[in-house]
Amino acid sequence: MGKQSLQILPTDDEHGRLLKAQLNQGIQEHWWETRPIDISGTEPPFTPVIECLTDMRVAAQRLWAGQPNELAPWLEEFVVAAKHWESYTRLRAEIGALAPDRLYYVTRHRLRAEADLWKVKNGAKGRAAPPAANQGDKGKVAGGEWLGEKTLPPSLFPSVVLPPPPDKGDPKWDEKRAEQFAKRCPRLNGKSGPSVEVGDGTFEKLLKARVHQGLLQLRWYWTGGRGAGPDEYSLRCDCLDDTALALVELLGPEPKELAPWLEELLVDAKEFERHTQLRVEAGALRPSRLNQVTRTRLKIEAELWKVKNAK
């Protein structure tokens, strides 16, 4: 990226110019990120470079939609860059300099880039999308409850949640809470997760591998793993969001299979939201972190609602 510069063509409209400018900013940002890395001090924020690659990939897909010969070389370079960061992250994780969730995060995004490249090279759109949702309102909630500034928006699925937590003073609180999670969410805990089958094509394998990386990351959190630094909340939100998107693409034509997966992800998102809210109320986190986690919970709820209300 960067050796073959972008050019604004006379045929480019305003949208095309904006996309090329966006892509150019990403190229410059990534160039700076690939300069020699100082590992002597505090680990720098980790997510920006992966977010940069993701943003560039999306911009390229929009810019060259319907032009696979133009788009494929760019996607190939994004895969090369993702592999570079995956290799770097793996080395850092193996020596204990980075937490395992960093590696799961980077690997998921590398698989996502490879899936996009595969679709372009094979002229495929991936798996079919879920059926269109029924627009009928099955229970109106007052607008103020949804758009309040100091209150969390309600859940359309109040029963999709973990049981009440153990007493705060219980010395085995974490262990017992993890047991509650394992019992409520067997799919996320590996008891009935996705498996590669004989008839699976390349695209299905990429999606299942991406889901698997997401599950490894979530299990790490539930078995005592704790993120550190400015990326902790972004990494977990990204994991929930990306795993949900991969499952929708993988199981979209099979709503009865998809719904239980989304329910379990919603359980995890709600527990993460509850934990974050407690920390915000204690003054240990900025309120914006709770906004970030709640956005993630709402996105998963929206996907689950579409599945449960499909025509």
Place of tokens 């793996």: 90
Q: How much is the average pLDDT of 220-236?
A: 76
Q: How much is the average pLDDT of 281-305?
A: 90
Q: At a CB cut-off of 8 Å and minimum separation 6, what does 104 contact? A: 213, 214, 216, 217, 220, 239
Is 60 exceeded by the pLDDT of residue 286?
Answer: yes
Structure tokens given for 275: 């934990």
Q: How much is the average pLDDT of 69-83?
A: 94
CA distances from 216 to 210, 268, 291 (A): 10, 14, 25
Window from 35-39, 41-45, 112-116, 291-295 with minimum mean pLDDT:
41-45
CB atoms within 10 A of CB 65: 10
Is 60 exceeded by the pLDDT of residue 44?
Answer: no
Q: How much is the average pLDDT of 33-40?
A: 58
Q: How many CA atoms lie within 13 A of 95 on its CB side?
A: 7
Is-above-0.85 flag for pTM? no
Q: At a CB cut-off of 8 Å and minimum separation 6, what does 2 contact? A: 27, 28, 31
Angle at 104 between CA 106 and CA 254, to 5 degrees: 100
Q: How many CA atoms lie within 13 A of 133 on its CB side?
A: 12
Q: For residue 285, what pLDDT band results from cuts at 50, 70 and 90? A: confident
Give CA–CA dist 104/89, Å, rounded: 9
Q: How much is the average pLDDT of 160-186?
A: 87
Give CA–CA dist 81/34, Å, rounded: 9
